[in-house]
């Protein structure tokens, strides 16, 4: 096992540090300067022309990737997209026909509820494609097509590299659908491809900045409750940050859209309840800053995930975790990294079993 961990203390840490390579592997052989080639997707021109709506179905961390996918698809392709957790989707009698494209996202390709959602979708005539890590898994066999994420085996129960590879696959889908349906211009596609190619290096750089994260984990390892907030495409990353922390540190955590804080959760804020605020450069930056001010006014400590060069954030945050300046469209792949490391360090400092947290399974093949 030591050898498999490649010198890292835990599989989770090894998998976090594999992420630059994982993005490269998900992209490998699939992109040129402005196009993607997704061999396994198996959708004909005719199938594609029919699609009026996209449904994304997944569980856990894969569901959070799906939520990022909704922002990506709706904002760039203007195709209405609905995201459901699979255990809800399968029982809600979803409205589906051949006009829907259902994307199921699953690391294992074996999650029982996700598989049941796929079967429900096919029964109703929708085309189904999977974004899947495990080659030959049940979901890939039953889907019409698959985009493999090529993240390699993920051993840590808390998903990290699989998530980043799922996001990468969603950018590939965006490019594919945008080109096939003539929605994205050549310039826009080139811009996205360029951005994607720069990600592995940027991820590696962010992962080198562990010092501040260690400091934060030392300061907050003893708290009983933490809040995570974000807006727009980084709202799902707040959910994912909270999930990571819950899963492996057993600390109560809530992820919230920053603007929704005042409708309830702000009642929980006090000195002992810190907030992780994703406050990267974006159209909603000022809005997030005012949410941070509301928290500070109630003595809440702030750990901000912010962009390099942002001086203003120093006036508001107790601890700042930096990422590179990047178009908001790509930011989730970077903002999730410090949150993964924060959860890892806190769990580790609390002396817990990082890779095998209590009550959780890597793959949930029963209902
Ligand atoms: C379990 C795992 C999570 C994972 C979820 C969905 O709950 O502990 O890490 O996100 O299942 O798994 P899947 O294999 O379908 O992505």
- Quick one: which atom of ligand 1 is closest to the CA of 111? 15
Q: What is the pLDDT of residue 159?
A: 97
Q: Decide if pLDDT at 3 tops 80.
A: no
Q: What is the pLDDT of residue 102?
A: 98
Q: What is the pLDDT of residue 43?
A: 95
161, 33 contact by CB (below 8 A): no
319-365 per-position pLDDT tens digit = 999 999 999 999 999 999 999 999 999 999 999 999 999 999 999 99
To test ligand 1's pocket by mutation, which of 60, 244, 365 has the most ligand atoms within 8 angstroms of CB? 60
Q: How far apart are CA 162 and CA 59, in angstroms?
A: 13
DSSP 117-145: HHHHHHHTT-EEEEEESSTT-HHHHHSSE
Residue labelled with tokens 């809530």: 254
Residue environment code for 211-238, b if the CB has 16+ CB neighbours within 10 A, otherwise e = ebbeebbeebbebeebbbbbbbbbbbbb
- Quick one: which atom of ligand 1 is closest to the CA of 361? 8
Q: What is the pLDDT of residue 76?
A: 98
288, 278 contact by CB (below 8 A): yes
ipTM passes above 0.85: yes
Crossing angle for the helix pair 186-207 and 19-27, nearest 10 degrees?
Answer: 160
Is the shortest distance between the CB of 138 and ligand 1 below 6 Å?
no
Q: What is the pLDDT of residue 119?
A: 98
pLDDT band for 367, please (50, 70, 90 cuts).
Answer: confident
Q: What is the pLDDT of residue 350?
A: 97
173-225 per-position pLDDT tens digit = 999 999 999 999 999 999 999 999 999 999 999 999 999 999 999 999 999 99
- Quick one: which atom of ligand 1 is closest to the CA of 157? 8
Which whole-number Å values give the CA distances from 229 to 91, 265, 339, in the listed order? 30, 11, 12
Q: What is the pLDDT of residue 366?
A: 86
78-116 per-position pLDDT tens digit = 999 999 999 999 999 999 999 999 999 999 999 999 999
Radius of gyration (C-alpha) of the chain in whole angstroms: 20
21-62 per-position pLDDT tens digit = 999 999 999 999 888 999 999 999 999 999 999 999 999 999
Q: Structure pTM?
A: 0.97
Beta strands in 133-192 (DSSP E): 145-148
Is the shortest distance between the CB of 356 and ligand 1 below 6 Å?
no
Ligand 1 centroid to 157 CA: how many Å?
8
To test ligand 1's pocket by mutation, which of 159, 164, 166, 358 has the most ligand atoms within 8 angstroms of CB? 159
Q: What's the average model confidence in pLDDT over 274-284?
A: 97
Residue partners of 259: CB distance under 8 A and separation at least 6: 231, 287, 291
């Amino acid at each position: 096992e030591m050898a498999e961990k490649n010198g890292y203390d835990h599989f989770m840490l090894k998998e976090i540090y594999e992420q630059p390579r994982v993005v490269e592997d998900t992209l490998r052989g699939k992109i040129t300067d402005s196009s993607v080639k997704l061999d396994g997707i198996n959708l004909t021109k005719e199938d594609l022309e029919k699609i009026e709506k996209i449904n994304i179905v997944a569980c856990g961390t894969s569901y959070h990737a799906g939520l990022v996918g909704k922002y990506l698809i709706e904002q760039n392709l203007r195709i209405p997209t609905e995201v459901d957790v699979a255990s809800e989707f399968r029982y809600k009698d979803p409205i589906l026909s051949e006009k829907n494209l259902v994307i199921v996202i699953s690391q294992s390709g074996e999650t029982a509820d996700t598989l049941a959602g796929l079967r429900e979708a096919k029964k109703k005539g929708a085309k189904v494609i999977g974004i899947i890590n495990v080659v030959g898994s049940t979901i890939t066999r039953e889907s019409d097509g698959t985009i493999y994420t090529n993240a390699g085996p993920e051993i840590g129960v808390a998903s990290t590299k699989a998530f980043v590879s799922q996001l990468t696959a969603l950018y590939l889908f965006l490019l594919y659908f945008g080109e096939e349906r003539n929605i994205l211009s050549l310039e826009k596609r080139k811009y996205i491809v360029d951005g994607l190619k720069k990600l592995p290096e940027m991820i590696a750089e962010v992962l080198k900045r562990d010092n501040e994260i260690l400091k934060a984990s030392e300061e907050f390892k003893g708290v009983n409750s933490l809040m995570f907030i974000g807006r727009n495409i980084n709202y799902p990353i707040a959910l994912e940050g909270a999930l990571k922390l819950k899963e492996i540190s057993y600390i109560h955590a809530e992820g919230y859209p920053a603007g929704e804080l005042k409708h309830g959760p702000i009642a929980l804020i006090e000195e002992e309840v810190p907030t992780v605020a994703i406050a990267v450069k974006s159209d909603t930056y000022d809005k997030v800053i005012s949410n941070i001010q509301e928290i500070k006014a109630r003595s809440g400590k702030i750990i901000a995930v912010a962009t390099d060069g942002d001086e203003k954030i120093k006036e508001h945050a107790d601890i700042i975790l930096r990422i590179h300046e990047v178009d908001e469209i790509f930011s989730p792949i970077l903002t999730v990294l410090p949150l993964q490391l924060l959860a890892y360090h806190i769990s580790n400092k609390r002396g817990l079993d990082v890779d095998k947290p209590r009550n959780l399974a890597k793959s949930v093949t029963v209902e």
